[in-house]
Amino acid sequence: MIKITNIKRDFVLGSEIVNVLKGIDLTIDKGEYVALMGPSGSGKSTLMNLLGCLDTPTSGSYILNGKDVSKMHDDELAEIRNKEIGFVFQTFNLLPRTTALDNVALPMIYAGYSKSERNARATEVLDQVKLSDRMDHQPNQLSGGQRQRVAIARALVNKPSIILADEPTGNLDSKTSVEIMNLFAEIHNNGNTVILVTHEEDIAAYAKRVIRLRDGLIESDSTN
């Protein structure tokens, strides 16, 4: 479960302090499917970075699965990211001269698994995203949709409780976007918490709950 209380995030730009998040309260229960929306400058990307433990708040608390991550040091946050959170990005972020199998297995190296364990689990999740016939291909041999499937498999490989997806269909055509969003629906149905950032209403419609930000605050919080 995610519970953030009065989260604020300030950035210093020259001599000016910019208040990006201005006191957000938010609870996301285990197994929810949530879309974060908002115009540019609303704070949604900053909130996503905080939820993903890629950044820490200026003030306020963030409880993730019973742990106060807002007070953690970098090495503790890295461990939380590796074990609890799977990331999916718009630009895929795959290693270019590395097979799909090895790209997917990469987070398991940091988690200390043996090569045989890594290969077995990576094969399992590539099969889950219907890419078992492409596991020996490098990213430049894959379509955009296939690359995003590899990225999703990588996000799933350590069995995280939360999947964070930042504009996951931003570089895909409409047909492929539907395929990827159907895959996220499957992941959610398997019990994962899914949180996605999007500016597209048709993509947000796949979520069960839509949170809209504006000027660093939650403007609305509704169910689909």
pLDDT for residue 35: 98
> Which H helix or E strand runs over 186?
helix 174-189
Closest CA to 222 of 37, 25, 62, 12: 37
Number of domains composing the chain: 1
Pairwise CA distance, residues 201 & 222, whole Å: 13
Residue 200 to residue 211: CA distance in whole angstroms: 13
Write the single-letter amino acid at 121: R
The radius of gyration of the chain's CA atoms, rounded to the nearest angstrom, is 17
Mean pLDDT of 146-162: 94
Measured in Å, how far apart are the chain's first and last C-alpha atoms? 20
Q: Go through 49-70 and write b for each residue having 16 or more CB atoms within 10 A of its CB, e for each that does not.
A: ebbbbeebbeebebebeeeebb
Confidence of residue 1 (pLDDT cuts 50, 70, 90): very high
CB 33 within 8 A of CB 55: no
Tabulate helix, strand, coil % of the chain (nearest 5). 40, 30, 30
Q: Which run of H or of E encompasses 11?
A: strand 2-13
| Tens of pLDDT, residues 23-68 | 999 999 999 999 999 998 899 999 999 999 999 999 999 999 999 9
User: Other C-beta atoms within 10 Å of 99: how many?
Assistant: 18
Q: What percent of the chain has pLDDT over 70?
A: 100
> What is the residue range of 111's domain?
2-223
User: Given a cut of 90, is residue 220 above it in pLDDT?
Assistant: yes
CA distance 198 to 181: 12
d(CA 105, CA 109): 7
Residues 96-122 have pLDDT tens digits of: 999 999 999 999 998 889 999 999 999
Give the containing element (helix H, strand E) for 37: strand 33-37
**Residue 197 pLDDT more than 90?**
yes
Statement: residue 128 has pLDDT above 90:
yes
Q: Are 50 and 9 in contact (CB under 8 A)?
A: yes
**Which residue is listed with tokens 């999916």?**
88
| Distance (Å, whole) CA 192 – CA 105 | 19
Query: What's at 153, amino acid-wise?
Result: A
CATH code for position 208: 3.40.50.300
